[in-house]
Amino acid sequence: MMRGEGQELLNDVGCICEENGALDLLQVVVGKGDVYDGIWTELQKDHASLQAEIGYLLQNQQKFDVNLNVRHFGKVTKSTIQADGTLMDAAEKIFRGTIDFVRGSADSVGAETEQVLLLGDDVVNKTIPVILCAEENVQGSHGAAIGELDEETLFYFGARGMDRTQAENTIARAKLEAKIQKIGDADIEQKVKTQLAEVLDRDNR
């Protein structure tokens, strides 16, 4: 998802997975402007699955509001939600991830993880995981790793001639490029990398 400064993007994804059906979803958010993102998935039949990955780099007071909801109806269904991103320059992110085990979804598994790198004291991060369970024989989990660059990491980059800004940009770039490489289309990957380079040019922010 690439936006221009001052623009707003409203994105909404909905999917119903029947027996053995699967949704593999990859979203990469980089650019300027605010993003409001909705993802709704119903695993209606047995052995249906969701694999969702979201990567983002937010800066310059951007807002990223995500509401992801997956409902397990069938037996032996599986959902995996992974979010990985960086906040800098007063950016704000809200991630609401709901895993809902409906009665009848026995032997199903749902997991949600998020890793957030905070670069600056003025960023705002809100991670709101929810697990709803109306079925006993299921497994649901969530976890989040939220933190800043530690002094040891900064020393490592400093010993290689990089200042703090260069170190932050290098790590932010590496986190997002790991997602970009999964797009699978060379032209789109290059466009996103170009946008990423523009965003990380702090003289333009």
pLDDT (0 to 100) of residue 4: 62
pLDDT (0 to 100) of residue 153: 85
Please check whether residue 170 lies inside any domain of the structure.
no
Mean pLDDT per 10-residue section of the chain, whose length is 205 residues: 73 96 95 92 98 94 96 98 93 96 97 93 93 96 90 86 87 91 93 88 52
pLDDT (0 to 100) of residue 203: 43
Please check whether residue 108 lies inside any domain of the structure.
yes
Rounded to the nearest 10°, the torsion over CA 130, 133, 138, 141 is 10
Please check whether residue 193 lies inside any domain of the structure.
no
Q: What is the 3-state secondary structure (H, E, C) of the chain?
A: CCCCCCCEEEEEEEEEECCCCEEEEEEEECCCCEEEEEEEEEECCCCCEEEEEEEEEECCCCEEEEEEEEEECCCCCEEEEEEEEEEECCCEEEEEEEEEECCCCCCEEEEEEEEEEEECCCCEEEEEEEEEECCCCEEEEEEEEEECCCHHHHHHHHCCCCCHHHHHHHHHHHHHHHHHCCCCCHHHHHHHHHHHHHHCCHHHC
pLDDT (0 to 100) of residue 204: 44
Please check whether residue 201 lies inside any domain of the structure.
no
Q: What is the pTM of this model?
A: 0.89
Range of the structural domain that residue 60 is part of: 8-147
Please check whether residue 154 lies inside any domain of the structure.
no
Please tell me the total count of domains within the chain: 1
Q: Which residues contact 186 (CB under 8 A, 6 or more apart)?
A: none
Please check whether residue 166 lies inside any domain of the structure.
no
Please check whether residue 200 lies inside any domain of the structure.
no
